[in-house]
Amino acid sequence: MATLKTYTEDLQIAKSLIGRDEVVTRRYFYEQCYPLFKSIYDNYYTDCECCKEFMDEIYIVVIAPNKTGHCQMENYRGESTLTSWLKTVCLYYCYHKFELKKRMPLYEPLPHSSEKDEKNVDDSDIIDQIGGSIDMDFSGMNRADVEVLLGMMHNGSYRKLIRLRYLEQMTNEETAKALGLTMANYYNMHKRAKEQYEAVRRKEEYYG
């Protein structure tokens, strides 16, 4: 009987990712695995506007804890390369998104770029963190109105971030932990969530 190979080094990488090691996360997940994510983003359905957003989504899928406090990456046992395991996760994610799209009623899509051009995103995106300027102002709005606008946002992770941060009134650190994000990734996602929410709000004001 053939002996099943165990990818010990990949198991250690997975352990570091689960432990939120920022160096390993950047070098392995966002640099080494970028060609994998870009290929899947270019060839399969997602509701993400750029490859970086797709990578952030997959990071949340595999790292964010579920109701039992465990994350999906803890299921990796080293029986294949970690890259192959991530590829399977990505393909399942895309298939699930496509199936959800087919079941959704037709509606007018929100305006966004029709081209899947990779955006140059780096740590400079967290500049809004300085001085707290990234925070949004929900004064004068009730929860029901905010929920209506959130329901019109096409990105589920962005909706969840805003709901946790502003409706549940979690701190930035608590929200990042709930989403399974490093603070740098959290502020990048917060910036994009804010932009998408504001685009929906402006559209509603225009047609309202």
124-153 residue pLDDT tens: 444 444 334 467 777 667 777 788 788 888
Domain that holds residue 182: 127-207
Could you report how far apart the first and last alpha carbons of the chain are, in Å? Answer: 69
Supply the pLDDT for residue 120.
Answer: 43
Supply the pLDDT for residue 111.
Answer: 41
pLDDT band at 91; cut points 50, 70, 90: very high
Is 171 part of any domain? Answer: yes
Examine the domain organization and report whether 96 and 12 are in the same domain.
Answer: yes
Q: For residues 75-88, give the mean pLDDT.
A: 94
Contact 125, 190 (CB under 8 A): no
Examine the domain organization and report whether 99 and 12 are in the same domain.
Answer: yes
Is 190 part of any domain? Answer: yes
Q: What residues contact residue 163 under an 8 Å CB cut-off, 6+ apart? A: 150
Supply the pLDDT for residue 203.
Answer: 73
Supply the pLDDT for residue 180.
Answer: 87
- How far is Cα 13 from Cα 28, in angstroms, rounded to an integer? 8
pTM of the model: 0.55
Is 143 part of any domain? Answer: yes
In this structure, which amino acid lies at residue 4?
A: L
Q: What Å distances lie between residue 198 and 47, 149, 162, 189, 204, CA to CA?
A: 18, 9, 12, 14, 10
The token pair at 65 is 């804890």
CATH of the domain at 14: 1.10.1740
Q: For residues 3-11, give the mean pLDDT.
A: 80
pLDDT band at 46; cut points 50, 70, 90: confident
Radius of gyration from C-alpha coordinates of the chain: 18
- How far is Cα 194 from Cα 192, in angstroms, rounded to an integer? 5
Supply the pLDDT for residue 137.
Answer: 73
Contact 134, 128 (CB under 8 A): yes
CATH of the domain at 142: 1.10.10
Is 113 part of any domain? Answer: no
Q: Structural domain tally of the chain?
A: 2
